[in-house]
Amino acid sequence: MSPLPGFTPFPPERARRYRELGYWRSESHGALLRASATTWPDRLAVIGGADRWTYAELDARVDATATGLVDNGVRARDRVVVALPNTAEFVEVVFALFRSGALPVFALPAHRETELTHFAALGEAVAVVVDGTDPAAVDRAVAVADRVPSVRRIVLTGATVGSSDPRVTGLADLRAAPPRRLPEPDADEVAFLQLSGGSTGIPKLIPRTHDDYLYSVRESARICGLGPDTVQLVVLPVAHNFPMSSPGILGALHAGGTVVLAPDPSPTTCFPLIEAERVTDVALVPPLALVWTAAAASGTRDLSSLRLVQVGGAKCTPELAARIPQTLGAPLQQVFGMAEGLVNYTRLDDPDDVVRLTQGRPISPDDEVRVVDDEDRDVPDGAEGHLLTRGPYTICGYYRADEHNARVFTPDGFYRTGDRVRRLADGNLVVEGRAKDQINRGGDKIAAEEIEDHLIAHPRVHDAAVVAVHDAFLGERSCAVVVLRGTEDPAPSAADLRAFVRGRGVADFKVPDRVEFVDALPATGVGKTHRSDLRAAVAGWFRAPA
């Protein structure tokens, strides 16, 4: 079959090699679940709220839901936007889509109307799945369906909300028909579209195949020592690439472990869950790890079941790294990954200083990592440079983004990650910074240009640039630097512009934390905003007085 339009397949030579090496095993996501359900039918697979499903139960539900999707007109390769909170039904829906051959587009519950509309339109999605217990989420899904003609169905999880809209179906209704076993999609097909943190105005979609993704999942599970006794607590947004695959939900289900979905990441919610379910593994972003270590230091909950605490998504400081084992009572693993592919881990048997001071090394011996200067010349080990990568689970192109792909992939297929790193002699990477115009707000990624475009849509905004400012808790916060125009009174205040961006229908975390007004932005010779000058200027404004 010809590849999905808009998807850049791996070059045949490399694909053949990855198969020969046994990395790609022609296994689909649906088959992964089937295999685990065959080996461990009675073990608990998923716990979320009141739901506690064994592997056999999950597998049967997934068959029923997949059958319902197909009977409702969802076909192989159709795209379906999924924006769900951390519930057991997320796992059911996503595996049902995998089995039907349709492609989930992994939105987050934090995404608002404009973002969901963009994902649905770019993916020409046929359906949107949202939390039926959240009226605002249902309204948003209806708005997306009104705006994107390809969207014919709205599927609601949770308690079914009565609706006269013929497009709306409850997930439970989909499960009504007798389940059939559907043929699994080919493993070299795109399995889903993940979201890019982005740096340009339009968020990009990342096509991952069954073959490439499951290779990273199996190896992640092995590197992290997962097995049938693993009880993994998911506290980060469930659809994010980290809790999904590093080793995440998929790694735990591959290993026969149990996935526990936390409705929110607070210690108040999560510590009792750790105690009650004897949780062994958890993945955190640095600000959450800070909150957890503080709460554990003064808490009374029994966290002794913890075996591994992963921290990634943004840089973990050496101080935080040292505090984690002391307060949470389990070793730390640093994880430096990206939805586009490459994932690095410190290993469980690494010396303390490697775990504390580096972001680890790649999963695969065939992950090709280059650290280069501005002219793409390799720099020596220990020197800082741009990280480029190519390998058995790193994409060769974003979905439907030819122009962007020409810029962020080298002619020989290396992905320009936009990260600045040092590679040490032992192969471990240290993340030093970023060349891409992105703000990493405690693991939540904000594409500067996306928010600048929203600001410029305000009639009184002449120009705007969004940059990162240092923040002790989140690592970075966003600051919009704005040049106003016109004289009509009153000029918008910082609060007005924040409300304006929020009102444009974007996730809360993307609303600029600060807005500062200037007469002009520093410009480069060709009239573009000089971002490094601006970042330096902004850093100066916020530096604490001596």
Instruction: Give the per-residue contact string, 144-173, with ligand J2J (x = CB under 6 A; - = no).
Output: ------------------------------
Q: How far is the CB of 537 from ligand J2J (least distance, A)?
A: 23
Least Å distance between CB 469 and ligand J2J? Answer: 17
Closer of 309 and 431 to ligand J2J (Cβ): 431
Residue 303 or 431: the one with the smaller Cβ distance to ligand J2J is 431
What is the residue type of 524? Answer: T
Contact status, residue 48 vs residue 396, Cβ threshold 8 Å: no
- 376 vs 432, beta carbon nearer ligand J2J: 432
Cβ distance to ligand J2J smaller for residue 362 or 492: 362
Q: How far apart are CA 481 and CA 489, in angstroms?
A: 20
Is 359 one of the binding residues for ligand J2J (CB under 6 A)?
yes
The CB-of-490 to ligand J2J minimum distance in angstroms stands at: 39
Question: Shortest Cβ distance from residue 346 to ligand J2J (Å)?
Answer: 10
- Residue 199 lies near ligand J2J (rule: CB under 6 A): no
Q: Closer CB to ligand J2J, residue 7 or residue 345? A: 345
Q: Report in angstroms how near the CB of residue 434 gets to ligand J2J at its nearest.
A: 6
Distance CA 91, CA 259 (A): 10
Site for ligand J2J in 435-454 (CB under 6 A): 440, 445
3-state secondary structure of 432: strand
Of 217, 408, 431, 451, which one interacts with ligand J2J (CB under 6 A)?
Answer: 431
Closest to ligand J2J by CB, 170 or 312: 312
Interaction of residue 434 with ligand J2J, rule CB under 6 A: yes
Token code pair at residue 540: 């100066």
Rank residues 63 and 212 by Cβ distance to ligand J2J and give the closer one. Answer: 212
One-letter amino acid at 147 equals R
Q: How far is the CB of 508 from ligand J2J (least distance, A)?
A: 17
Q: Is residue 198 close enough to count as binding ligand J2J by CB under 6 A?
A: no
Rounded to the nearest whole angstrom, what is the least distance from the CB of residue 320 to ligand J2J in the complex? Answer: 11
Comparing CB distances to ligand J2J, the nearer of 171 and 289 is 289
Nearer to ligand J2J among residue 34 and residue 477 (C-beta): 477
Among residues 70, 96, 127, 343, which is the contact residue for ligand J2J, using CB under 6 A? Answer: 343
**Shortest distance (Å) from residue 546 CB to ligand J2J:** 29
Binding mask 72-111 for ligand J2J (x = CB under 6 A): ----------------------------------------
Residue nearest to ligand J2J (CB): 337
Count residues contacting ligand J2J (CB under 6 A)? Answer: 23
| Shortest separation between residue 170's beta carbon and ligand J2J, angstroms | 31
Between CA 211 and CA 17 the distance in angstroms is: 13
Residue from the set 184, 350, 419, 437 that interacts with ligand J2J by CB under 6 A: 419
Give the CA angle between residues 94, 338, 441 to the nearest 5°: 100
Q: What is the DSSP letter of 94?
A: H
Residues 204-263 that bind ligand J2J (CB under 6 A): 241-242, 245-246
Query: Which residue from 157, 200, 364, 417 is in contact with ligand J2J, where contact means CB under 6 A?
Result: 417
Yes or no: say if 157 and 129 are a contact pair by the CB < 8 Å rule: yes
Distance in Å, CB of 412 to ligand J2J, minimum: 20
Query: Strand, coil or helix: what is 10?
Result: coil
Nearest distance from C-beta of residue 285 to ligand J2J, angstroms: 8
Alpha-carbon distance of 314 to 443, in angstroms, equals 5
Q: Dump the DSSP string for 512-538.
A: -SEEEE-S---B-TTSSB-HHHHHHHH
Residues 27-48 as b/e (b if ≥16 CB within 10 A, e otherwise) read: bbbbbbbbbbbeebeebbbbbb
- Name the pairing type of β-strands 190-195 and 205-209: antiparallel
Using CA atoms, how far apart are residues 191 and 213, in angstroms rounded to an integer? 9
- CB nearer ligand J2J, residue 61 or residue 477: 477
Residue 46 has phi, psi (to 5 degrees) of -135, 135
Identify whether the C-beta of residue 502 lies closer than 8 Å to the C-beta of residue 511: yes
Measured from the CB of residue 441, what is the shortest distance to ligand J2J in angstroms? 11
Helices and strands (H, E) in the chain, number of each type:
18, 25
CA 300 to chain centre: 32
Give the C-alpha separation, 87 to 302, whole Å.
24
Subset of residues 280 to 339 that bind ligand J2J, contact rule: CB under 6 A: 312-315, 334-339
Looking at this protein, which amino acid is placed at residue 91? V
Q: Judged by CB, which is closer to ligand J2J: 158, or 442? A: 442
| Alpha-carbon dihedral angle through residues 312, 313, 314, 319, given to the nearest 10 degrees | -20
The pair of three-digit structure tokens given for residue 208, joined into one six-digit string? 């991952």
Residues 6+ apart with CB under 8 A from 215: 18, 23, 24, 25, 364, 392, 393
Indicate the helix (H) or strand (E) that contains 282: strand 281-284
In angstroms, what is the minimal distance from the CB of 366 to ligand J2J? Answer: 18
Extract the tokens encoding 423.
């590679």
Residue (468 or 482) nearer to ligand J2J, CB: 468
In the complex with ligand J2J, the residue whose CB is nearer, 67 or 245, is: 245
Sole residue written with tokens 């197909």:
70
Pairing of strands 168-170, 258-261: unpaired
Contact between 391 and ligand J2J per CB under 6 A: no
Provide the 8-state DSSP code for 384: E
Binding site for ligand J2J (CB under 6 A): 197, 241-242, 245-246, 312-315, 334-339, 343, 359, 417, 419, 431, 434, 440, 445
